[in-house]
Structure 1
């Protein structure tokens, strides 16, 4: 897995426990074209090929169009991508660990670039809020 940039001005890590198998969580998380049906912050997600490293996908969040490239696709364990928008570069990683029918989902992201440095405080606050929302929505979708 490609590591996040620990020196980036914007970064966040969050974890949540989901009462579902890692297979179920994986199926929801990696169905990129379906994200907008449960992830209310996202619109127009489109995977441009197969679910494998180097495949790109495009999506919108917070009004920004993002072009991303998958870097890690390890079924039921790890999923990650890099993304670019407005001169910023992000690394986004998900890790799944199943224990006794429950899946621990950890997410880490770093953002760097001119605006990330300039607006560090608000970007960190927004990233933390957005990431917690994503985890809460993923939990709700997987526990249906």
Structure 2
């Protein structure tokens, strides 16, 4: 019952004391962790992940609405998943390693942490963690739905990163 009415910290605290410090809100009622191994270098995966304008092409339904100041710490951007508009701000931009942002949509505060780890064989482990907090959010947006969205996004990034590699081998 406690998590049902959990609102989480303020968006500013979430940004500064959670996202910038490398963590999501583990007390949030909706959290998810997914990962995938990608047959491409971290540099290639980063290029795909950090090109948020291309998300619409690789994952239909996603679209960039605006980007102020590029992909940089504290830069603001707006994007949408279907009809849901999200106001975001980058918290960590560490090329080849981490892209984390905070955002709010319909009163729901979220942290998306995208972590890239180079593997010894030249491939990449891509891990996506997210927390979502707002009173009653767990009633209309469940963890399994979030995980499904993540798995689809990870697969889209994988396909795009590996597509370029496969094309260059031909």
Superposition TM-score tier, normalisation by shorter sequence: over 0.9
User: Does residue 49 in structure 1 map to residue 52 in structure 2?
Assistant: no
User: Does residue 125 in structure 1 map to residue 144 in structure 2?
Assistant: yes
Q: Which of structures 1 and 2 has the bigger CA Rg?
A: 2
Distance in 2 between residues matched to 1:44 and 1:105, nearest whole Å: 22
The residue number in structure 2 matching 1:91 is 111
Distance in 2 between residues matched to 1:34 and 1:69, nearest whole Å: 18
User: Does residue 114 in structure 1 map to residue 140 in structure 2?
Assistant: no
What is the deviation of 1:2? 3.7
More strand by share: 1
Q: Unaligned 5+ residue runs, structure 2?
A: 1-20, 164-170
Q: CA RMSD in A?
A: 1.3
Q: Unaligned 5+ residue runs, structure 1?
A: none
The residue number in structure 2 matching 1:142 is 161
Query: Any idea what SS the aligned residue of 1:143 has?
Result: helix
Distance in 1 between residues matched to 2:83 and 2:135, nearest whole Å: 18
TM-score by length of 2: 0.79
Query: Any idea what SS the aligned residue of 1:93 has?
Result: strand
What is the deviation of 1:115? 4.0
For residues 16-55 of structure 1, give each alpha carbon's deviation from its aligned partner in whole angstroms, at most 9, with x where no partner exists: 0000000000001001112101112302343221221100
Query: Any idea what SS the aligned residue of 1:5 has?
Result: coil
The residue number in structure 1 matching 2:35 is 15
The residue number in structure 2 matching 1:102 is 123
Equivalent runs, 1:47-86 vs 2, <5 Å: 47-86=67-106
Query: Any idea what SS the aligned residue of 1:114 has?
Result: coil
Do the aligned partners of 2:25 and 2:111 also contact (CA within 8 Å) in 1?
A: yes
Do the aligned partners of 1:33 and 1:46 also contact (CA within 8 Å) in 2?
A: no
Do the aligned partners of 1:88 and 1:115 also contact (CA within 8 Å) in 2?
A: no
Distance in 2 between residues matched to 1:77 and 1:45, nearest whole Å: 25
